[in-house]
Amino acid sequence: MSRPFFDVKEHVFDGQHIREYPRATAHAQEEVLRLCAKQYIPKSNPRPQPGDVSFVAAHANGFELYEPLWDDLLAAAAHHGFRIRSIWIADVAWQGQSGVLNEANLGNDPSWSDHARDLLHMVNVFRADLPRPLVGVGHSFGAAILTQVALMHPRLFTTMVYLDPVLHFNIGGPAFGDGPLERSAVRRDHWPSRAAAAAAFRRSPFYATWDPRVLDVWIAYGLRPLPADVPKAGGSSDGASDGSSNGSSDGPSDDGPKEGHSEQDCDTTTTTAAADSSPVGMLYRPEVPTITAQLPHLRPGVCYVFGGTSGLAEPAARRWCRTSATWCRWSGPGYASNALK
């Protein structure tokens, strides 16, 4: 997938220092986490020109399956008369190929803010390959992460596209979508074999809604052999696990535990509860309301794309994002148009 249309380069770079939470790393806060990124270079544009678009993408929780989308995006670019220089996407440090690379050093308390800083760092490390204009494409929690990047560096992105963004003030409820945590927490991540996993995916109503090309990519690349220390069902040597996850890393991407710090944190943590934890419930994801509160100050324009039956945002939340949240303060582009009226 995508290889007929793109030359694909893989890059590895160090993540930013220091991580948001002490327990983002397993043994010491000075441990280096590394990120794996892919750069998709259109074969149809071997000699890019000034003005060709560079895309920086951020994936959803546990699913880095965008090559069919890049194929369609390239076709749409040709149809609409603009040229793509390259598309960049990096696995968050605790998932995907990055998670595999960091497996021995990962703690159990990742932060979305870490990946926002990692992406900004990536743009600086590979600045020669990422000239303006830059367009951000974020899916689900990836949209929230790119919002953080744009708030840190308001002039970085020319424009942004949000696909089913996780942006709201509510932890749950009918207007804003109930419990992505529950779906992540109970997502199965071990099967007796690759064949059994593939059969389960194809039977699942959840996966039945996917573009068949995406499901094929998920079956081909979304699994890896079970780690050596995980028992195989029935003594089988052909076990498979969800390649996006490492231990229980999917769940913390949606919500993390409020309490329970280890002794290694004593030099930086003076309470058993996280300083930014939610006052209600046993789980929290503090980035969401914090990022959402800053949407009025987002400078680049945003195209919101919501799934028609998405559980992340009902119509009321979608209208709120488009009409009441974005661009309505002095630092957003909406301010200028409002000031002229």
CA distance 116 to 122: 10
- Token output for 270: 């003076």
Q: Are 94 and 26 in contact (CB under 8 A)?
A: no
Handedness of CA 217, 218, 222, 225 (dihedral sign): negative
* 301-305 and 159-163 beta bridge pairing: parallel
Radius of gyration of the chain (CA): 20
Whole-number Å distance between alpha carbons of 95 and 249 = 7
Helix/strand/coil (H/E/C) assignment for every residue in the chain: CCCCCEEEEEEEEECCCCCCCHHHECCCCCCCCEEEEEEEEECCCCCCCCCCEEEEEECECCECCCHHHHHHHHHHHHHHCCCEEEEEEECCCCCHHHHHHCCCCECCCCCHHHHHHHHHHHHHHCHHHCCCCEEEEEECHHHHHHHHHHHHCCCCCCEEEEECCCCCCCCCCCCCCCCHHHHHHCCCCEECCHHHHHHHHHHCHHHHCCCHHHHHHHHHHCEEECCCCCCCHHHCCCCEEECCCCCCCHHHHHCEECECCCHHHCCCCCCCECCCCCCCCCEECCHHHHHHHCHHHCCCEEEEECCCCCCCCCHHHHHHHHHHHCCCCCCCHHHHHHHHC
Q: Which of 42, 119, 37 is nearest to 73 (CA)?
A: 42
Q: How far apart are CA 234 and CA 251, in angstroms?
A: 27
Pick the CATH number of 6-186+248-340 from 3.40.190.10, 3.40.50.1820, 3.50.50.60, 1.10.8.350: 3.40.50.1820
Tokens standing for residue 20: 């948001």
Q: Is the peptide bond before 18 cis (omega within 30 degrees of 0)?
A: yes
- Apex 282 CA angle, 246 and 19, nearest 5: 50
- Chunk the chain into consecutive blocks of 10 residues (it has 341) and report each block's average pLDDT, rounded to whole numbers: 88 97 94 98 97 98 87 97 98 95 94 98 98 97 96 97 82 47 64 87 89 91 72 54 52 48 44 50 71 90 83 64 56 41 28
- What is the domain partition of the chain in residue ranges? 6-186+248-340, 190-242
Distance (Å, whole) CA 42 – CA 334: 34
In the chain, what's the furthest Cα-to-Cα distance? 72
CA separation for the pair 185, 31 (Å, rounded): 27
**Which residues fall within 8 angstroms of residue 118, CB to CB, at 6 or more apart?**
15, 16, 35, 90, 92, 93
